[in-house]
């Protein structure tokens, strides 16, 4: 009888361990199609997160000027036009995941220009906030500033999040001045939890 009780307890612990697993991912978006309709944004699920108010955009590294993605092909973008149609940009844990820990990501900003005009990088500041699912309470926040070197072209910089971003359900990314700049994000690094 005792053997059965221990066997049952071991089975319960094994099942609990399986369901409490985490998966570490870096989303570089390079296998997504890049958009040209920058005013349009539909939420999309990618590697366990839902991205809302973001548009995947492709980069031609032969262009003169502008921000350069961390990985060579695709990054995600938000701007005033996208946010006016879709609201504040955010990442949310997608089913079957219950939460995630945001570790770091790369970002940078361009001055929006008309097609055919050389893009120019610009300084920008962002506020990243993390929220719990249970009560929607903000449990983490961090600010970052991208300051490009002189010239037209710049690499994205890394934003490393503090430990308080562990176990969040939703993360918002708010620009200080979205009207005057487009925000690009690449290589979002996180751990998903079931």
Sorted by where each begins, the domain ranges of the chain are: 23-193
DSSP 80-132: HHHHHHH-S-EEEEPTT--EEEEEEEEEEEEE---TTSPPEE--EEEEEEEE-
pLDDT along the chain (194 residues), means of 10: 40 39 92 68 92 87 71 88 90 96 96 66 95 95 93 89 97 89 95 96
Contact 59, 154 (CB under 8 A): no
Give me the pLDDT at residue 38, please. 55
The pLDDT score that the predictor gives to residue 6 is 40
Spatial separation of the C-alpha atoms in residues 143 and 44, rounded to whole Å: 25
Say what the pLDDT of residue 115 is.
56
pLDDT at 37: 53
DSSP summary character for residue 146? E
Residue 152 C-beta-side C-alpha neighbours within 13 Å? 10
SS3 71: coil
Please state the length of the chain.
194
Q: Is 76 exposed, middle or buried (0-12, 13-18, 19+ CB in 10 A)?
A: buried
| pLDDT (0 to 100) of residue 177 | 83
0.95 exceeded by the pTM? no
The per-residue pLDDT for 11 is: 34
Class of domain 23-193: mainly beta
């Amino acid at each position: 009888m005792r053997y059965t009780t221990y066997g049952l307890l071991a089975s319960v612990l094994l099942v609990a361990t399986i369901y409490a697993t985490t998966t570490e991912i870096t989303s570089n978006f390079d296998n997504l199609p890049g958009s040209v309709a920058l005013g349009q944004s539909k939420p999309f699920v990618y590697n366990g997160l839902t991205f809302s108010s973001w548009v995947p955009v492709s980069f031609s590294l032969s262009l003169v000027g502008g921000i350069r993605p961390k990985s060579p092909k695709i990054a995600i973008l938000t701007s005033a036009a996208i946010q006016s149609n879709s609201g504040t940009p955010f990442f949310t844990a997608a089913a079957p995941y219950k939460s995630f820990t945001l570790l770091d990501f790369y970002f940078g900003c361009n001055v929006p220009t008309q097609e055919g005009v050389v893009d120019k990088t610009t300084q920008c500041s962002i506020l990243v906030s993390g929220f719990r699912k249970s009560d929607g309470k903000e449990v983490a926040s961090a600010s970052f500033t991208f300051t490009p070197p002189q010239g037209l072209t710049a690499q994205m910089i890394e934003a490393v999040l503090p430990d308080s971003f562990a176990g969040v359900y939703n993360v918002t990314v708010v620009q200080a001045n979205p009207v005057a700049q487009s925000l690009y994000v690449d290589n979002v690094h996180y751990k998903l939890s079931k």
